[in-house]
Chains A and B, each alone.
Chain A
Amino acid sequence: MYRIAIYGKGGIGKSTVTTAISCALSQKGYRVLQVGCDPKADSTLYLHGGERMTSILDILKKKKDLATLDDLVEEGYNGILCAESGGPVPGLGCAGRGIAAAFEALDEREAFSILKPDIVLYDVLGDVVCGGFAMPIREGYADQVYIVTSGENMAIYAAANIATAVANFRERGYATLGGVILNRRNVPDEKEKVETLCQDIQSKIVADLPRDNHIADAEEQKKPVMGLFPDCPYAQAVRGLADYIIQNGVDREDEE
């Protein structure tokens, strides 16, 4: 089982990239579980025809211990297993604790040993601001972290912060940095800027994803771009990224 966490600045395209990787891997025959780790619960939106699935925390709030694994995980496009941690209403509660609670709920129901995914992808909100947002890279969850960034300065700063957090957590047995995914916004000297970032954080660009209007077209039709436009430049680049992730991943059995 390969376990990957995708981090990056808010709005940089993490959910689009994660969903595209899920689609590419499922099209190659892998059984994929995509876990959205964001109170907005919209990571898997286009795997469900643009319909939001009910989040784990909303289900737990309603059904408590009676919630089953089937309640928490739904099948979406091309058999991809989807789960959304969800979280509190904006401005209240504790989103980080929410992610931890959602992960514990999946653990208690032995999600990995029952669902037996080949690949688990965690799509994590913005920055590692507290313990809850580090959950996906703690021991027993993701083994590798990929950071999505463009050449915009704020995205690069966020990427550097995330890389620092990953490096700081290394002594705890956390995940390691797998690489940087360049999601182009077509700003000047974009690749050079991201390459400089990679030198600073001792990593490398593992995929160069072009800005592609097919993504917006697919979202308009509420479908994943990989399904609707499989030959577009973005889809081709993501397939290369998916291959890279598998070839450089850690295939580890679930501990429990």
Chain B
Amino acid sequence: MSELHVNVFAMTYTADVSGVCSTMYELGGMTVLHDPSGCNSTYTTHDEPRWYNTKSLMYISGLDEMTAIMGDDSVLVRDVKKAAEDLSPRFITLCGSAIPHLIAFDYKGTAHLIEKATGIPVIPVATDGLKLYTSGIGLALREWMKRFADFSLPHEKDTVNLLGVTPIDFSRMEIVEEMKKALEERGFTVNCCAAMGDSFEKLQEICKASVNLVVSSAGMQPAKMLSAKAGIPFVVGTPIGAAFTDQVAQCLREAQADGKSRYAYDASRFQEKEEGEVLVVGEKCASCSLAQAVDGALGREAAFVLSPDVRDGLDEDALVEKMKKADIVIGDPLLRYGIRDPHTKFIALPHEGYSGRIYRKQIPVFTGDAFDVVTFLEGGRPGGSA
């Protein structure tokens, strides 16, 4: 082993499989995770905020050693068929963990077999349990749309979809509603919110929009697909605070007019900037949007961003060094323990894909016009909390 990583306080973000489950949770399908189960199977029970309140058809295949060695996919096909006969789901999603990935499990081919056996549409989502949850959400949304979206619908002017919305990033519906409200107050109709709060039928009409808004990195893959296949341009940016939401709305109007996709924040600057007054640690799209909102509120280029990935990991020493370069650090409460300088101010912005439900009640409504950046930087509760 060439590199040794020791994590004392830092967690890892939840992986792609959780992202798939989260995306499909409300769409009326059955999601099958190809995995041996056991203590591995926390994808929904620990990582899914809706698990205790909302019913959903999530199953783990219970892959065993001999089935894996012999490549006997008929076991999975048989079990899924039996479950599908009992539950009659509208569609089936097939994803998996690192173990099927390592034996080169054939998602597409097995999906064909299950579909033939059940007569129910099967969406293969080839996750590997090694990538970030955003990758799983993106893949799942893209594959779902490829199969079920109505690409023949005409685009309606000033109509926008929100892409990359699941409770992993946005926790509560009121946080999503604030985004919608902010856009509607700026003259847009929100068509679909993929995939939180909208029904299967509603999401089928996703191509009615004239422009897409990517509000988390998870929205990038479906946005690119909808751009290529339906000619809908996209804007990347999470509406955070009134001023930055104005910027987002302006970008949406420009993208709708010229058909070109763009970032609402200064993506290249945040890619390169290594130090500053305010460090935002978290998912890239929302963190860069918050950083841009911070810059706007302070009237100077003060913020920089750090977005740890699951696969690459982030050495705690590197994280601590980054934190030392800022006067204010914004991030999940677990990161507080990385602060070494007593003068560094830490502002908690909990993320359920990082610390689960522990800090759920502390998550502020961080979207829309209600979120006041200055109040937030002062340690207040902008926009309220649950």
Contact = CB atoms under 8 A, between A and B. Distances in A.
B103 interface: yes
Interface stretch (B53-61, B110-118, B235-243, B288-296): B110-118
A141 to B, nearest CB: 10
B104 A173 contact: no
B312 A173 contact: no
B110 to A, nearest CB: 7
Interface of B: 71, 102-106, 108-110, 112-113, 116, 311-312
Interface string A134-155: 1100111000000000000000
Contacts of A139: 108-109, 112
Contacts of A131: 71, 103-106
B104 A97 contact: yes
Interface in A165-190: 169, 171-174
A65 interface: yes
Interface string A71-103: 000000000000000000000001011011000
A88 to B, nearest CB: 13
A130 interface: yes
Contacts of B108: 138-140, 172-173
User: Which of B108, B113, B116, B312 is packed against the most chain A CB atoms within 10 Å?
Assistant: B108
A138 B110 CA distance: 11
A172 B113 contact: yes
A132 interface: yes
A100 B104 contact: yes
B102 A171 contact: no
Given A130-B71, A138-B106, A171 B312 contact: no
Contact of A130 (B104, B113, B116): B104
B112 A171 contact: yes
B110 A172 contact: yes
A94 B102 contact: yes
The binding surface of chain A is classed by DSSP as helix
Nearest to A132: B104
Contacts of B105: 131
Interface in A15-54: none
Contacts of A132: 104
A99 B102 CA distance: 11
Given A65-B312, A131-B71, A171 B104 contact: no
Nearest to A113: B228
13 contacts: A65-B312, A100-B104, A131-B106, A135-B104, A138-B106, A138-B108, A139-B112, A169-B109, A171-B113, A171-B116, A172-B106, A172-B110, A173-B109
Nearest to B146: A255
Interface of A: 65, 94, 96-97, 99-100, 130-132, 134-135, 138-140, 169, 171-174
Contacts of A135: 104
Contacts of A130: 71, 103-104
User: Which of B105, B106, B312 is packed against the most chain A CB atoms within 10 Å?
Assistant: B106
User: Which of A94, A96, A173, A174 is packed against the most chain B CB atoms within 10 Å?
Assistant: A173
Contact of A174 (B71, B104, B109, B312): B109
A98 to B, nearest CB: 9
Contact of A134 (B102, B106, B110, B312): B106
A97 B102 contact: yes
Nearest to A139: B108
A134 B102 CA distance: 14
A131 B71 CA distance: 8
B274 to A, nearest CB: 18
A97 B109 contact: no
Contacts of A65: 311-312
Nearest to A64: B312
A194 B112 CA distance: 33
A167 B12 CA distance: 44
A139 B122 CA distance: 15
Contacts of A140: 108
Given A97-B104, A138-B109, A139-B112, 12 more contacts: A94-B102, A96-B103, A99-B104, A130-B71, A131-B71, A131-B105, A138-B106, A138-B108, A169-B109, A171-B116, A172-B106, A174-B109
B197 to A, nearest CB: 29
User: Which of A130, A138, A172 is packed against the most chain B CB atoms within 10 Å?
Assistant: A172
Contacts of A172: 106, 108-110, 112-113
A238 to B, nearest CB: 32
A34 to B, nearest CB: 22
Contacts of B109: 138-139, 169, 172-174
Contacts of A174: 109
Nearest to B142: A256
Nearest to B103: A131
A100 B71 CA distance: 15
A92 B113 CA distance: 32
Given A65-B312, A130-B71, A131-B71, A173 B102 contact: no
A156 to B, nearest CB: 25
Contacts of A173: 108-109, 112
A209 B264 CA distance: 61
A47 B80 CA distance: 47
**Those 9 A-B pairs whose CB atoms lie nearest each other, nearest first:** A172-B109, A131-B104, A100-B104, A132-B104, A139-B108, A173-B112, A172-B112, A97-B104, A96-B104
Contacts of B106: 131, 134, 138, 172
Nearest to B102: A97
